Amino acid sequence: MNKNYVQPAVWYATLPTAYLTAQALFTDERDRVLLVKPNYREHWGFPGGIVEDGEAPHRGVAREVEEELGLTAEIGDLLVLGWHPPEGERPRSTISFLFDAGVIADPGRIRLQYEELDAFEFVPWERAPERLAPGVAPRIPAARRARESGGTVYLPDGPPHRA
């Protein structure tokens, strides 16, 4: 055996790790974006959250949507893939997925999880970025471009790149 051989478990333990988040982009019949107001943050956001260990991002966002909004969502195409460096109290990079979740024809079906969320609102595309944290706001125009073109936009913590 090669003297430089390292057991797979030892090698994998040395690899970098990142947090994964997955969000859903819903619109209503008037093409306004659904935002939710977490009770533990200053800014509004998309429905979604942390992807659990071993969970696929599209399944994680479906689970979060059901928990937060009481909806069973058909998670569609990946619109925006983001990468964010470690920052503040967050010691690892974050990889974020924003999926197209379609149109909510009847907002009356939403059953808000008040343990985490205070409110929801459908907001015009142009007004949505001002509600979001500065690091999240670029996802709005990127998602709109991706939805219109049928592609995906990559946001590497800076200017968007088409994928």
Domains of the chain: total: 1
- pLDDT band for 158, please (50, 70, 90 cuts): low
Computed from CA positions of residues 156, 123, 130, 115, in that sequence, does the dihedral angle turn out positive or negative? negative
Please give the mean pLDDT across all residues of the chain: 94
pLDDT (tens digit, 9 = 90+) per residue, 15-50? 889 999 999 999 999 999 999 999 999 999 999 999
Position 156 in a domain: yes
**Which residues constitute the domain of residue 145?**
17-162
Position 3 in a domain: no
Q: Which of 39, 10, 22, 4 is nearest to 120 (CA)?
A: 39
Write down the pLDDT at residue 163: 47
Position 7 in a domain: no
Position 9 in a domain: no
pLDDT(160) > 70: no
Position 116 in a domain: yes
CATH number, residue 37 = 3.90.79.10
pLDDT(77) > 50: yes
pLDDT(162) > 60: no
Element (H, E) at 65: helix 57-69
